[in-house]
Each structure stands twice: as structure tokens, then as C-alpha cells.
Structure 1
Amino acid sequence: MAPSIIGSLLETLPLRDQSPAVQAVAIAVVLPVLAILVNVASQLLLPKDPSLPPVVFHYVPIIGSAVSYGMDPYRFFFENRQRYGDVFTFVLLGRKITVALGAKGSNLIFNGKLSQVCAEDAYTHLTTPVFGKEVVYDVPNHVFMEQKKFVKVGLSTDNFKVYVGQITDEVSNFIAIDPAFRAFQEPREPNASSSVDIFKAMCEITILTASRTLQGREVRANLDKSFAQLYHDLDSGFTPINFVIPNLPLPNNFKRDRAQKQMSDFYRGIIEKRRKEGGEHDEHDMIAALMEQTYKNGRSISDIEIAHMMIALLMAGQHTSSATGSWAMLRLASKPAIIQALYEEQQKVYGDGQGGFRPMDYETQKTQVPLLDAVVRETLRLHPPIHSIMRKVLSPLPVPQALAAPVADRKANDSASYVIPSGHYVMAAPGVSQVDPQIWKDPSEFDPYRWLKGGDNASATEEAEGENDKVDYGWGMVSSGANSPYLPFGAGRHRCIGEQFAYLQLGTIISNFVRRFDWKLDGSFPEPDYTSMVVLPKASSIRLTSRE
């Protein structure tokens, strides 16, 4: 039918006497217009399958809602939630993505059966070229769960106790030598002030502190320009286009592949050297922990697996922590009174009685600085690093009745239910619940005090988290449910294993800045940039003033 329609349409155009070039241009205009008309007509006129979630209306086929979703995912989610309810489908560059919002939607996706939803099929084409083979999403789920258990061994309390001092040393050294902080270096004037790109600084501080702690002495010693370039080239593979259309012959992908091999060889060299040296080493890094691990079937973890797990830790943790640290510093810059309250908390807990501070320690950081903890929590509520989390549907996925009906029709239409077909992708967006005005008082307001005793939402989130069952997926007991409106680290088998390290790293970095500086925004508060895989600030300039 389509060719005959096109032919009839072209017959009506006065093109017979035109040059081939003119005819080609005319056809190039007609065909897209016709495709749009057919796409619109099919959405408006064809009968809809009541068992399928409603589809977001879109004009352009294949592209679908890619532009509106990509520009501002949260606006896209909230607007379509208002139209269609918590469950709806949209077209993203040829893929059908079914979104499930709210706590019940997150629970549907995070705790979907392995026979129904698959994270590996959703992400391996993006992560495997960067992390490398034989780890994370390049292995069956049960193997990945064992690998997470290996990593958890390295995230021990004994190691964390060492990490606090190491992170402090790295922050101090960075401030002492980085050109952006020249105004605060010797010789300096009292109450020196300077404008700093805090996102750039946080990127560097995060990789320095992670390499000093998790990555090990050899990585930290080699963290020079050549390693930085390798990291940059490998990082270029983490782009949205590679999620949708993997392995395009692009310069960035060529650089990614070369960097992956070189970085893999670098880590394997460290491991081989340590094995040859033998004996006991007083190392508190992840390489040392992984070298001692064995799978349930008795197989020792291979050097290439260790190397690629170390790359995965470096890449995944770097993005999320540097973004969260930047947002925390920017949010505090917009609330000078909270910076002062944090300083007073440091004085109360760590004051040495002579106007200075004693060194930070892990137990104190974990239990005795509640406002600092609340600042990190509140930053993650407003700025979860990942706005969308996907799974591929392997077998038809029923949607619970309470979740399926549009919001306005839930009471009147209790029997409503959908089935998400195989081949679709499902998407969770926990950040929607984290700023939902039906859950949070003044949801767009940065208010760390809401997390402290007597706060508006602390008890509600703790109660929801407490309702979840604990399950061991192979790497330790974790909450299985997603009934909390606050899930910045996900839930279920794929919950982020680096949660406690993230709190430690971010809290220690912020504490060091609070002790040294006061700061404020250098301009207006920045808008979020959704064009990368992690949500970043579009601008990140703050003005620091020395406390000395």
C-alpha cells in the first residue's frame, strides 16, 4: 500500500520536466512528510490494544520522543505521568521504552524476575567495551553477583578506617598545589578569595582519592598525564549514542578501544608483579582484596577479571561521585547558613580545644556528624546521578493492577492492567519519587534538616525502607524492595555496592572544604545538563574564601 501511495503522491507533483537533482530534493522532502503523516494517523485512527500501556504521542517515527526526553527527562516523566498515569510507553530511536514510575514502578523493575527482565541485555553493549570482557554485564547474572561479593570484601570497615586519612591527605595536597587554588597557597593573604570551577576540581579530587584508596599505590603513583589521557579516552565511550547504537565507527570509539586495552594491560602488570613478589603486603586496596577471592565452584578469579573489575570501579565511581560532590558544593553555596552549621558541627565533634581540629576518623564520620550525612542525603535526593535505569524485557511482564490505571481512574478502574511485551525495554526513574510534591514538603528546596530527627520526611522514608525484606543475591544481605521514595542507589540485586564508600568519600571531602573555606555561588544556581550519561551541572563556578 505504501509504495502506491507514494507513487500517487509523486504523480501529482510537477516533477517530470525537472532535473534529477530537483526531483531528488522533492522526494527527500515528500518521503519524511509522508512518514510523519502515516505515523500520526496510525496513532490517532488505529484501534489500541487495551492490554498494552498507552504510547506517548509523537510526530516523527523512529526518533519518537528522543528530543523531549533527552532535553529534560524529569519534565518528560511528570508531564506524561499526568496524561497517562505511572505506566506509559515512548519511542526512543526505534526502541519501545515502557516507563514505570513511583515506588511500585521501581519495585516492578528492580525486583523483576530474571526470566522476565534483564540488565545485562540492556547495558552490555555500552559497558563491556569500556570495562572489558568477563565482568559486570558481560557475564551471567549469577557470576556478576559473585563478583559484587568479591568487591564487597574490599569495602571493609578496616579499609574504611584507613581511607579517611588517605582522602584527607589527597584533598590537602590538591589544594596545596593545584593552580585553581593558587590564592590559598603559600604565601597567601588572610581571608584569600578565589573563583573555582568546582566540577573540574571535584573530578580531579574524586579520581585522586579513589586511586589512593580503592585503586592502590601503583595506580596513584602512575596518575600522571598519560594515565589521565587513557582515562579520558576510555571515558569517551560512555556516551548516550553508544547506548542506543553501539560500536559505531567513530573516532571516540576507536580511542576507547585502544585505551581499554592499554588500561587492562596496566592493571594486569600490577597484579602480575604483586603475585611474583608474593608474601604478605600491608595493602588496603581493592586489588589486594580481589586477588584473594575464589568463586563458589572453586575457580580462582583471573588476572583479567581483576583488571577489568578495577576499571569498572574506576569508571563507574568516578562519574557518580564527582557529579554528586559538585552538586553538594553548589547547593551549599546557595545556603551559606548551612555551611556555617557544618563548620560548627566540625568544631563540636572534632575541635581540639585550641581553635583547630583533630583528624577525622571513620567511626566519628559515620555516627557523629548527622548534618553532614543529611547534606549528602539531600543532595542525592535532588540530584541522583542516574535519572533512568533500564532493563530489557525477556518474557511478557504483567503490570500490577494498582500501578497500571491512570492516576485519575485508579478508584473507578480497579481492574485495569497491562502486559509489557517481550522486546520492550522497561525504565525506572526513582528520582521522580524523590521530588514528588505528593511525598515531599517543598520538594525542590534544598533542606538537609528534613533528614534529621523530627524532619518532614525522614520517618516516612525509614519506615518504607524498613518494610523491605532482606535477601542475599550472592553478595550479602540487602533490601529487596523498592517501596521507599528515596532510592539514589537503586534496590534489589543491582543495588549499588559502593553506597557506603560514596558516603565516606563525599563526607570526608566536604568536611575538608568546610574546615578550610566558606563559599558562595559565583552567579546563579546552574541548571542540570542531561546530555551525558550522568546528570551534571551546566555551570559550576563558586567563590571560595579562606577561613584563616
Structure 2
Amino acid sequence: MFNATHTNGAHDWAALFEGAISINLFVELSRTQLVLLLGVGTPVAVILLNALRQMIPRRTSDPPHVFHWIPFVGSAIEYGTNPVPFFTKNKEKYGDVFTFTMLGREITAALGAKGNNFVLGGKSLDFNAEDAYTHFTTPVFGTDVIYDVPNSIFMQQKKFIKVALSTEKFRAYVGMIEEEVEDFIASDPAFAATQKKSDEWGSFDVVDVMQEITILTASRTLQGKEIRAALDKSFAGLYNDLDGGFTPINFLFPKLPLPSYRKRDAANRKMTEFYTEILRKKLAAGDPDETDVMVSLAEQRYKDGSSLKEHEIAHLMIALLMAGQHTSSATGSWVLLHIARSPDIAQALYDEQVKHFGSPDGQLRDMTYDELRELPVLDSVIRETLRLHPPIHSLMRKVREPVVVPPSLSAPRSKSHQDSVYVVPKGNFVLASPSVSQLDPAVWVNPDAWEPRRWWVSGGAAASAKAAETGDGEVVDYGYGAVSKGTESPYQPFGAGRHRCIGEQFAYLQLGTIIVTMIRNLELKLPHEVPEHNYHTMIIMPKHPRQIQYRRRRAV
């Protein structure tokens, strides 16, 4: 017993002695060395603990989880830098359903056409768009509209806006847009180099030009003459400050104490006052302009008989101005880049105009809305561009209640999940990706190529997608008019279901008129390849270089 006790004591003393040496060494370390040890050691320990935590078996009902090293950050860097390869890689490994971590959020991706149907066709009580987006949109659009109200109110507001986007109003918009584009080409500094010498080639930054043209045309049509006139004054500065709230950092961190956030909030207040003042003047004067969207909104009533409040009308007007501008300018930029790179398609577009709008004197007459809708080459160019470059690559909803994933959506890849049914937990986000389904090689022939001709032929994925998108199949009314029920389509550039974009017909009108007007006025060419996607912006824009060369047509 003595020996054993002595031995244990020796070990105790040895431990104390080693501890004393450690303490002495610790004390001898300089402050800089200590900081370095803690600075390196602590993150390493946290990363290792995070890795070990992910090795603990999960419930078999949980979708497989994408491994990540850095806690909280998760897969944010890989997803944010290039989402399509990120999705593709994990689809090959896990199937169409898997969960990944992004800045503290658990996001369950559901890919492909069935994934689109699962997310976009889901019940609002289970998958909620307001919970996913209100923190981002409300500071920009304003309170009590869009995602800042219950879904039932939002559906009524969509109906109010859709009344203001009638076919009769569209017929009046075509000439307005055409005039704005022609004035821009004739006078903007971007085209100044060739204003006197029509045979010379100039160049312009396609994104800069399309951003200006889309905001000018949208304000002229959807906003009214007062707003359009104000774009040359202080309103333009307010718009830019408000536009600063539409960035990825605002989406991820909506309440940072940054100057841009303060400018965003101040701009929303001032623009609300601006719209409210104009509305009061219009109503007092009894403005007879039937195309005026603001007046149309003032005439609408909720189901309980109440009218929209002034600030609600103002905020809906802000939403109309802001929401479509980014997507239209992005799509228009991609369209012009591809046309400039494809001389045969550019010529086909021009020949189509000569055929439909040519006159004996060689001039091209003005077009009407109904004629614009009957241009197959133009239609296919826009549709193909939206397929290859959907403005938003990911559409999200927040899960309010646990939701079972249909077994047909994704067969589990791992043995531990073979006999299980996936359940998306409450609190997760679910994600559908148009970029994935619209580039799926199992659906589309040569999916990475820009091929407008695929939309000209009958049969195939394009024909089926067009039928679903245009509502040729089953339709449903969520409270704002009948829309296609085709949430399982692989082609979803405007979303689907109850949150399908109500501005898609205006988008086709606006883009179509802009493209037709530019093609009849300009020859275009691109001296380099079509740029890659810039995924660091909320809306997918082309990277640099994005200069398009142009020459004014001699006989227009």
C-alpha cells in the first residue's frame, strides 16, 4: 500500500512540477505570443469541434447535410461565389434534396422540376415567403405592403396592381417605351460618339445603358408623368439611395449601423412623402388619365370594403418601381450581349421587323402591343435568355411547420437513409433553384448553349415549358387572377404558384419594345465572348468586359 501510495504521490508531484513549468513558461510568453496562441488555437478548436459535431449521426428523417468547416459561415462562400456548381456537386452526392448551412441559416435545397413544385407549390401555412423576405424588402418598399402583410392581404394587393397592368394600359405603353428608347439613343452621352457620323462604330456599357433605359421606361409607363419628370431632379438621388438597400449584405444583415442603411431609410421616408403629395394633387384635380397606375390603386378596395391608405399606395408605387427594374435591366443586358455576339440572330430580328412593320418607302412603322406579341423570333430570344440567365438563381421560403418531402422528389443516396422519408424541420429555409432546373442536361439539349431556335420548334422541353408558363394547361386563382398551375415545370424565370411575378407580362412588353427599338436603330456586335455571371449581386448581372459595339443604321 505504501509503495502504491508513494507512486501515486510521485505522479502527483510530477504533475504539479510539470504544471509549475507550464505556468512559468506561460508567464514568460510575451503578450504578442499569447495573443497569437489564443488567436490561432481557439478558431482551430472551434473548427474541429464543428467538424466532430457533424460526424454525429443525424436522424434518418433529416435530409443529408453538406459538410462545412467553419461554423455559422457554413457553405456561404462556396454558394455565394458560384451557386450552380455548388448545387450540381451536392446533387450528385446527395440527390435532389439536401441541407446546407449559410450564415447561421439552415437551408434545405429541393432541386429540379419536382423541387420547384415542392417549394413554389407548397402551402403558405407551411412554406412562407413573408418570413423569408420581409426583413429585406420592407426597409426598401415600406411598411404594410408586399411581404410586410399577411399573405391574404398581399394577394389582394397583387390583384390591385394587376388591375393597373391591364391589356388596355399595355397598348398605351408601347409607344411610350419606344419614344423613351429613341430619345435616349439620340441624346444620351453613351451614344454621343456617333451622333454626327452614322457610319462609325461606338461602344457602350450594356448594364449602365439598360439600367437607365429600364428605369426611364418603367417610370414613364407605371409611374406617371410627374415621376418621369422628377428622374432628372432630386428623385434620382433618392432612388439611388434606396437602391443601395438591394444588396446581398442587406439581405443577410438587414439592420447594420452603416451609412448606406441610414440613406436607404431616409430615402424611403422622402419618397413616401413625394408619392403621397402627388397622389393628393391627382385626386384633388380628378386626373382623367386612364393609364395612371396611382389613380387606379386609389380606386381599389379590400375585401372588407376599406380603401388603400395613402402610405400603402406610395409604398406599392415604390415596389413597382424597384422590384422590376433590376430584373428587367439584367435580362435586357444579357439579351443584347447575346444578340451582339450572334449576327445571324440579330439579322433575323431585324428581318422580322421588316416583314411585319416595313412600308413601301423603306421605313419601319410604329408597332402595336398586339403586333409585338406576334413576333416569334423576338419571343424566343427573350425566353432563351431567361432560361440561360434567370435573374434570381434561388427562391426561398421559411418553414413554419415540419414538412414531409415527397418520396418521388429524391431517392436517398446513402445507405443510412434508404428506408427513410425526409422531413424538413420547422425553422429551416427551403430553396428552389431555377438556374439548376433550366440548365438540367436531362431536360434540355445542349443546356449551356444560347439557342433561341429551340423555342421555334414543336415538341421538346421548350415547347412544354412554354405551354406551362403561358397557362395553356391547368390554372389556379390565388386571389389576384388565374395563373398557370405549372409549378413542376423546369422553366421558372418568373417563379410559380401564389408568388408568381405579376409583372411578367409587363416585363415581356418592356423588354420586347426596348429590344425592337434598339435593333431597328442600331447594328450591334460583341468583340469578345458573352461575359460570365456575377453572383455577388442580388440579381445575376454580367461581369466585365460588357462593352457592346454599335453603329447607327442608315435607313430607319
TM-score where L is the length of structure 2? 0.92
In 2 relative to 1, CA 342–461 (structure 1 residues): closer, same or farther, beyond 3 Å?
same
In the other structure, the counterpart of 2:323 is 316
In the other structure, the counterpart of 2:525 is 520
| Distance across 2 between alignment mates of 1:333 and 1:407 | 44
- The correspondence for 1:459, drawn from 459, 463, 466, is 463
In the other structure, the counterpart of 1:434 is 438
Shift of 1:413: 8.4
Shift of 1:463: 5.5
Where do 1:76-155 residues align within 5 Å? Answer: 76-155=86-165
Cα pair 1:77 1:432 within 8 Å, conserved: yes
CA displacement 1:366-417 (0-9 Å, x = unmatched): 12x11001100001000110111111100001100011324799xx988542
In the other structure, the counterpart of 1:20 is 31
Cα pair 1:390 1:426 within 8 Å, conserved: yes
Is residue 350 of structure 1 aligned with residue 357 of structure 2? yes
Q: Which amino acid aligns with 1:441?
A: V
In the other structure, the counterpart of 2:423 is 419
Cα pair 2:116 2:489 within 8 Å, conserved: no
Is residue 263 of structure 1 aligned with residue 271 of structure 2? yes
| Distance across 1 between alignment mates of 2:171 and 2:276 | 27
CA displacement 1:487-525 (0-9 Å, x = unmatched): 100111000000000000000000011101111114332
In the other structure, the counterpart of 1:3 is none
In 2 relative to 1, CA 190–463 (structure 1 residues): closer, same or farther, beyond 3 Å?
closer
Is residue 167 of structure 1 aligned with residue 167 of structure 2? no
CA displacement 1:308-350 (0-9 Å, x = unmatched): 0000111111100000000000011111110001000000000
In the other structure, the counterpart of 2:13 is none
Shift of 1:464: 5.2
Is residue 303 of structure 1 aligned with residue 307 of structure 2? no
In the other structure, the counterpart of 1:4 is none
In 2 relative to 1, CA 463–177 (structure 1 residues): closer, same or farther, beyond 3 Å?
closer
| Distance across 1 between alignment mates of 2:349 and 2:252 | 43
Cα pair 1:102 1:433 within 8 Å, conserved: yes
| Distance across 2 between alignment mates of 1:230 and 1:523 | 36
- The correspondence for 2:258, drawn from 243, 250, 261, is 250
In 2 relative to 1, CA 542–462 (structure 1 residues): closer, same or farther, beyond 3 Å?
closer
Q: Which amino acid aligns with 1:523?
A: H
In the other structure, the counterpart of 1:43 is 54
Shift of 1:25: 2.7
In the other structure, the counterpart of 1:382 is 388
In 2 relative to 1, CA 422–413 (structure 1 residues): closer, same or farther, beyond 3 Å?
closer
| Distance across 2 between alignment mates of 1:316 and 1:464 | 24
Cα pair 2:110 2:432 within 8 Å, conserved: yes
Where do 1:166-245 residues align within 5 Å? Answer: 166-185=176-195, 188-245=196-253
Identify unmatched segments of 5+ residues in structure 2: 1-18
What fraction of aligned residue pairs are identical, expressed as a percent?
54
| Distance across 2 between alignment mates of 1:457 and 1:85 | 22
Cα pair 1:236 1:252 within 8 Å, conserved: yes
- The correspondence for 1:372, drawn from 349, 368, 378, is 378
Q: Which amino acid aligns with 1:240?
A: P
In the other structure, the counterpart of 1:281 is 288
Shift of 1:461: 2.0
Q: Aligned to 1:404, what secondary structure does the other structure show?
A: coil
CA RMSD of aligned residues (A): 1.9
In 2 relative to 1, CA 127–22 (structure 1 residues): closer, same or farther, beyond 3 Å?
same
| Distance across 1 between alignment mates of 2:472 and 2:51 | 45
Cα pair 2:230 2:236 within 8 Å, conserved: no
CA displacement 1:128-148 (0-9 Å, x = unmatched): 000000100000000000000
Cα pair 1:239 1:532 within 8 Å, conserved: yes
| Distance across 1 between alignment mates of 2:529 and 2:405 | 43
Where do 1:431-510 residues align within 5 Å? Answer: 431-454=435-458, 456-462=460-466, 469-510=474-515
Q: Which amino acid aligns with 2:275?
A: Y
Q: Aligned to 1:97, what secondary structure does the other structure show?
A: strand
| Distance across 1 between alignment mates of 2:308 and 2:283 | 13
In 2 relative to 1, CA 332–340 (structure 1 residues): closer, same or farther, beyond 3 Å?
same
| Distance across 1 between alignment mates of 2:418 and 2:360 | 64
In 2 relative to 1, CA 51–13 (structure 1 residues): closer, same or farther, beyond 3 Å?
farther
Cα pair 1:82 1:407 within 8 Å, conserved: no
Shift of 1:438: 0.8
Cα pair 1:195 1:522 within 8 Å, conserved: no
| Distance across 2 between alignment mates of 1:421 and 1:325 | 39
Q: Which amino acid aligns with 1:430?
A: P
Q: Aligned to 1:112, what secondary structure does the other structure show?
A: coil
| Distance across 2 between alignment mates of 1:182 and 1:459 | 42
In 2 relative to 1, CA 92–12 (structure 1 residues): closer, same or farther, beyond 3 Å?
farther
Q: Aligned to 2:551, what secondary structure does the other structure show?
A: strand
Cα pair 1:404 1:417 within 8 Å, conserved: no
| Distance across 2 between alignment mates of 1:156 and 1:464 | 21
Q: How many residues align?
A: 532
In the other structure, the counterpart of 1:361 is 368
| Distance across 1 between alignment mates of 2:472 and 2:519 | 36
| Distance across 2 between alignment mates of 1:24 and 1:249 | 29
In 2 relative to 1, CA 29–495 (structure 1 residues): closer, same or farther, beyond 3 Å?
same
Is residue 34 of structure 1 aligned with residue 45 of structure 2? yes
| Distance across 2 between alignment mates of 1:13 and 1:100 | 57
Is residue 62 of structure 1 aligned with residue 72 of structure 2? yes
Cα pair 2:283 2:295 within 8 Å, conserved: no
In the other structure, the counterpart of 2:551 is 545
Q: Aligned to 2:38, what secondary structure does the other structure show?
A: helix
Cα pair 2:98 2:110 within 8 Å, conserved: yes
Moved more, 282-291 or 58-67: 282-291
Shift of 1:12: 10
| Distance across 1 between alignment mates of 2:39 and 2:149 | 44
Q: Which amino acid aligns with 2:266?
A: R
| Distance across 1 between alignment mates of 2:226 and 2:175 | 18
Q: Aligned to 2:409, what secondary structure does the other structure show?
A: helix
CA displacement 1:181-237 (0-9 Å, x = unmatched): 01332xx22422101111100000000000000011110111114211111110111
Identify unmatched segments of 5+ residues in structure 1: 1-7
Shift of 1:532: 1.1
Q: Aligned to 2:386, what secondary structure does the other structure show?
A: helix
Q: Which amino acid aligns with 1:264?
A: T
| Distance across 2 between alignment mates of 1:218 and 1:334 | 38
| Distance across 2 between alignment mates of 1:63 and 1:519 | 43
Cα pair 1:404 1:416 within 8 Å, conserved: no
- The correspondence for 1:394, drawn from 390, 400, 410, is 400
Cα pair 1:117 1:391 within 8 Å, conserved: yes
Q: Which amino acid aligns with 2:404?
A: P
Cα pair 1:468 1:482 within 8 Å, conserved: no
